[in-house]
């Protein structure tokens, strides 16, 4: 589906932007957060943590929408997100989601 213009009510919607916090040394490297992040914000860090696992790494800063799925699916309480700001909806965002 493509939009030919920005929806008229775009001003009343916004995109939450989350800031991810990773407590690296708690991670046991299960990969749940990386796999199930709806925006694929995370990837495996190349380095080991203290326990010898690869914790997640934020690759696309600013693309976390603070859905906090990673937070509730993490078995180790090693990741959480906090709301940083609300971003106004732009034509690019609409286009971006439409492509998905």
Which parts of this chain interact with other proteins (CB under 8 A)? 21, 23, 25-26, 28-32, 35-36, 53, 69, 71-78, 80
Nearer to other proteins, 20 or 89 (CB): 20
- The stretches of the chain forming alpha helices (DSSP H) are 32-36, 69-73, 91-99
Closest distance of CB 61 from other proteins, Å: 20
Closest distance of CB 48 from other proteins, Å: 13
Nearer to other proteins, 73 or 94 (CB): 73
Nearer to other proteins, 1 or 72 (CB): 72
Backbone angles phi, psi at 16, to 5 degrees: -70, 140
Closest distance of CB 13 from other proteins, Å: 21
- Whether residue 89 contacts residue 14, with contact meaning beta carbons closer than 8 Å, is answered with yes
Backbone angles phi, psi at 63, to 5 degrees: -100, -5
Closest distance of CB 9 from other proteins, Å: 26
- Whether residue 94 contacts residue 8, with contact meaning beta carbons closer than 8 Å, is answered with no
Provide the token pair at 1: 């589906």
């Amino acid at each position: 589906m493509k939009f030919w213009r920005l929806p008229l009510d775009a001003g009343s919607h916004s995109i939450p932007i989350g800031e991810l916090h990773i407590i690296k040394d708690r991670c046991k490297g299960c990969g749940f957060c990386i796999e199930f992040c709806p925006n694929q914000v995370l990837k495996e860090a190349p380095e080991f943590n203290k326990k010898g696992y690869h914790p997640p790494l934020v690759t696309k800063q600013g693309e976390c929408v603070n859905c906090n799925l990673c937070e509730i699916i993490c078995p180790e309480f090693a990741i959480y997100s906090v709301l940083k700001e609300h971003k106004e909806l732009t034509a690019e965002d609409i286009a971006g989601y439409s492509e998905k």
